[in-house]
Amino acid sequence: MTEVTPTPTPTPTPTTLTSLTATQLLQGYRAGQFSVVDATQAFLSRIEYLNPSLNAFCLIDAEAALASAHRSDARWQAHRQLGAPVGALEGIPVAIKDLILTRGWPTLRGSRTVSADQDWSVDAPVVARLRESGAVLVGKTTTPEFGCKGETNSPLTGITRNPWNLARTSGGSSGGSSAAVSAGLVPVAIGTDGAGSVRIPAAFCGNVGFKPSFGRVPAYPLSPFGSVAHLGPHAMSVADIALTMNVAKQPDARDWTSLPEDRSDYGIGLNDGVRGMRIAYSPTLGYVKNLDPEIRAALDQVARVFESLGAAVDAVDPGFEDPLEITTGLWFAAARQVYDGLSGPNQTQTDPDFQAQAELGSRITAADLHSLNLRRGLLGSQMRQFMQGFDLLLTPAISIPAFAAEPAGHRPMDPQAMLGWTPYSYPFNLTQQPAISIPCGLTRDGLPMALQLVGPMFGDALVLRAARAYESLHPAIRPSLTEVKARG
DSSP string, 346-412: HHHHS-HHHHHHHHHHTT--HHHHHHHHHHHHHHHHHHHHHGGG-SEEEEES-SS---B---TTSS-
CB 59 within 8 A of CB 277: no
| DSSP-derived pairing of the beta strands 136-141 and 93-97 | parallel
Phi-psi group of 110: left, alpha or beta (phi > 0 → left; psi -120 to 50 → alpha; rest → beta): left
Cβ burial of 10 (10 Å; 0-12, 13-18, 19+) is exposed
Alpha helices in 255-351 (DSSP H): 293-308, 324-340, 344-349
Give the residue from 78, 108, 79 showing the smallest Cα distance to 96: 108
Helix axes 324-340, 366-386, angle to 10 degrees: 140
Number of other CB atoms surrounding residue 321 within 10 Å: 12
Residue 482 neighbours by CB under 8 Å, 6+ apart: none
If you compute the radius of gyration of the chain from its CA atoms, what whole number of angstroms results? Answer: 22
Residue 378 neighbours by CB under 8 Å, 6+ apart: none
State the amino acid at position 206 in one-letter form.
Answer: G
Q: What are phi and psi of 105, to 5 degrees?
A: -120, 140
DSSP string, 153-181: EETTTEE-EETTEEEEE--SSSHHHHHHH
Cβ burial of 2 (10 Å; 0-12, 13-18, 19+) is exposed
Number of other CB atoms surrounding residue 247 within 10 Å: 23
**Which one from 68, 72, 182, 197 is the annotated catalytic residue?**
197
**Which one from 35, 154, 170, 173 is the annotated catalytic residue?**
173
**Which one from 97, 140, 211, 249 is the annotated catalytic residue?**
97
Phi-psi group of 365: left, alpha or beta (phi > 0 → left; psi -120 to 50 → alpha; rest → beta): beta
d(CA 158, CA 247): 32
Concerning whether 289 is annotated as a catalytic residue, the answer is no
Concerning whether 97 is annotated as a catalytic residue, the answer is yes
Alpha helices in 249-311 (DSSP H): 293-308
Number of other CB atoms surrounding residue 445 within 10 Å: 11
Give the residue from 359, 409, 402 showing the smallest Cα distance to 149: 409
Concerning whether 197 is annotated as a catalytic residue, the answer is yes
Give the residue from 98, 152, 120 showing the smallest Cα distance to 408: 152
Which residues are catalytically annotated? Answer: 97, 173, 197
